[in-house]
Amino acid sequence: MYLFETHTRVRYAETDQMGYVYYGNYATYYEVARVEAFRALGFPYRDLEAQGIMMPVLEMHTRYHQPARYDDLLTLKLSIKTRPSVRIVFDYEILNEAQSLLNTGQTTLVFVQKDKNKILRCPEALLQKLAPYFVSES
């Protein structure tokens, strides 16, 4: 299993008049977690797109346990629980500074060759970066 953790602070723009983070904005927090995880792995998502590979999202599930609020410094926990193949599945937990669990989610993404609009297997370079975290499976 691969685990990663990063932080982001709730912006005023992300709140709504309930005084909570708008429910659609958690998808952006998941994106921040994915992008920083890939950067930490030495596999920046920006470089992947520069090589003509996109990662559209196929599916998302979200559970809102407690509302995130303006100016909360959020902890974004990401995990990859199974070795990616054609799909890559990310799980998320979002906590506030008091370590209360606010939100859990899961996204499934695929790898697409942009010019041909064709689904690819997970790039070998990424599999190699992730290999140390999945030794017990092989």
The site for a second copy (CB under 8 A) is made up of 11-13, 15-20, 22-28, 31-32, 35, 44-46, 49, 54, 56-64, 67, 70-71
Kindly state the smallest distance separating residue 79's Cβ from a second copy, in Å.
Answer: 19
> Least distance (Å) from a second copy to the CB of residue 70?
6
The nearer residue to a second copy, 46 or 116, going by C-beta atoms, is 46
The CA distance from 65 to 111, in Å, is 31
Residue with tokens 């995990």: 79
Is the Cβ of residue 106 or residue 134 nearer to a second copy in the bound state? 106
User: Rounded to the nearest 10 degrees, how much is the dihedral formed by the CA atoms of 96, 40, 117, 113?
Assistant: -170
Element (H, E) at 50: helix 45-50
Q: Which is nearer to a second copy, 56 or 132 (CB)?
A: 56
